[in-house]
Structure 1
């Protein structure tokens, strides 16, 4: 299959996922509690949105040098899209039941599975393209998977500990490309 069709379906699904998340935002009542709940909802939405944006940007970058995708790559991509399509559900659940550790477990499982499938897809793209990216990207993906897995038992200790992981991982991915840009400019 040509890469363009592959990228088109990915773009379409990611756009729909973001739209569904945006439609689930509820306007608050104007009381102090309502505004505070709305702020928590927006912060959770920002984390989920940032995660999807990072997936989409990185997906584009890893397939930059791939010319044709094979059957295995298609299935890995659909597994990534499936797990990513659960992000609105996980976002809504943690928004409604923030202090319930089960909502943090769902959030960690969904984000962790999306990260795992992204990692597998990234590894597959390396085989297809012959690209030689640094090991830093591979390490970051593995660390993110481990952190999301760690968020599950930590949610039993304190939901703020798992929440810190949910903020830390997208922040690290956001800051990581700057490190690579600076390294590449220096060379």
Structure 2
């Protein structure tokens, strides 16, 4: 399959996922007593939206040097998109039950699965590509997968540890030099 069709379906699904997340933001009556909840809610959604933005950008960069996509790559990508479609559910769960350990476990689990399938997809692309890639992103993606897996038991220790992981991992990507992000 030509990559344009493959990228079109990926872009469409990611756009729908982003839209679903925004539609889940509930704006109640803004008073001084509940403004902290509203700010926390926006922060949670910004973090989740950042994950999707990074995924979209990395996905685009990953396929820059690919012309054709094989069936294995397509299926790994669909599993990536399916797991990514769970981000809005995990986001609303942690938003509504921030102090519940299970919501952090669920959020961490979803992110770990997303990163796992993303890392598998990246391995497929490296295998079928003739282009030489920089290994920085590959290492960071597998490390991030392990960090999200670690966030699951760490959520039982403290939800603040898992929260720090959820915030620091996507923003650490933004700190990478531009050359490392563009394979």
TM-score, normalising length: structure 1: 0.94
Q: Per-residue CA shift, 1:46-74, capped at 9, x if unaligned?
A: 00000000000000000001110001000
How many residues align? The count is 183
Q: Distance in 1 between matches of 2:105 and 2:88?
A: 15
Give SS of 1:33's match.
coil
- Which residue number corresponds to residue 143 of structure 2? 143
Unaligned stretches of 5+ in structure 1? none
Unaligned stretches of 5+ in structure 2? none
Give SS of 1:144's match.
helix
Q: Distance in 1 between matches of 2:94 and 2:143?
A: 23
- Which residue number corresponds to residue 65 of structure 1? 65
Q: Per-residue CA shift, 1:24-54, capped at 9, x if unaligned?
A: 1011322223211110110000000000000
Q: Distance in 2 between matches of 1:165 and 1:179?
A: 24
| Alpha carbons 1:86, 1:110 under 8 Å: kept | yes
Give SS of 2:98's match.
coil
Distance 1:173 1:158, change over 3 A: same
How much is the aligned-residue C-alpha RMSD, in angstroms? 1.6
TM-score, normalising length: structure 2: 0.96
- Which residue number corresponds to residue 97 of structure 1? 97
Q: Per-residue CA shift, 1:162-185, capped at 9, x if unaligned?
A: 00000111011122243637xx9x
| Alpha carbons 2:134, 2:180 under 8 Å: kept | no
Q: Distance in 1 between matches of 2:120 and 2:33?
A: 43
Correspondences of 1:70-149 after superposition (within 5 Å): 70-149=70-149
Q: Per-residue CA shift, 1:72-116, capped at 9, x if unaligned?
A: 000000000000000000000000000001000110111111111
Give SS of 2:26's match.
coil
| Alpha carbons 2:137, 2:180 under 8 Å: kept | no
The list of structure 1 runs, each at least 4 consecutive aligned residues, that deviate by more than 4 angstroms after superposition, is none
More helix by share: 1
Distance 1:177 1:85, change over 3 A: farther
| Alpha carbons 1:28, 1:35 under 8 Å: kept | no
